Amino acid sequence: MRSTWAFALALLLQLIPVDATAQSASSNLSRLLEAELSRLPTRSGIYVKHLGTGEEASVRANDEFESASTIKVATMVLAYRLADERKLDLNQRYVIKQADYRGGSGIFRFNDPGLNPTLRDVITQMIITSDNTATDIMIAKVGGKDAVNRFLRDAGYQVLRQNNTTLEFFRLGYEAADPKYKALKPEDIFALNTDLPLFVEPRRALIEEFQKRTADKEVAQRMSAAWSAKANWFGWATPREMGRLLESIELGTAASRQSCDEMKRILLAQQSGVIKLPHYLTVPIAHKTGETGTVTNDVGMIYAHSGTIVIAFYNVELAGPRAETEDGMGRVARTVVDYFDGGKPQ
Instruction: Answer yes or no: is 346 within a domain.
Output: no
Confidence of residue 343 (pLDDT cuts 50, 70, 90): low
39 and 143 fall within a common domain = no
Structural domain including 109 reads: 94-232
Please state, in angstroms and rounded to a whole number, the distance separating the CA atoms of residues 242 and 16: 31
Q: For residues 211 and 191, is the Cβ–Cβ distance under 8 A?
A: no
Q: Is 75 contained in some domain?
A: no
Same domain assignment for residues 177 and 159: yes
Residues whose CB falls within 8 Å of the CB of residue 67, separated by 6 or more in sequence, listed in order: 160, 161, 233, 234, 235, 236, 237, 242, 290, 297, 314
Q: Flag whether 78 is in a domain.
A: no
Residue 76 inside a domain? The answer is no
In a shared domain, residues 100 and 212: yes
Whether the pTM exceeds 0.85: the reply is yes
Strand residues in 77-199 grouped as ranges (E): 161-162
Inform me whether the pLDDT recorded for 271 exceeds 60: yes
| Residue from 116, 127, 165 nearest 262 by CA | 127
Q: Would you say residue 109 lies in a domain? A: yes
How many domains does the structure of the chain reveal? 2
End-of-domain residue from the set 209, 232, 255: 232
Contact of 98 with 113, CB cutoff 8 Å:
yes
15 inside domain: no
Note whether residue 225 is domain-resident: yes
Residue 11 domain flag: no
Q: Over the stretch 148-192, which tens digit does the pLDDT of each residue have? A: 999 999 999 999 999 999 999 999 999 999 999 999 999 999 999
Q: Give the count of beta carbons closer than 10 Å to the beta carbon of residue 118.
A: 14
Query: Once rounded to an integer, what is the mean pLDDT over residues 96-110?
Result: 97
Q: Is the pLDDT of residue 143 over 80?
A: yes
Residue that finishes a domain, picked among 188, 205, 232: 232
Same domain, 312 and 202: no
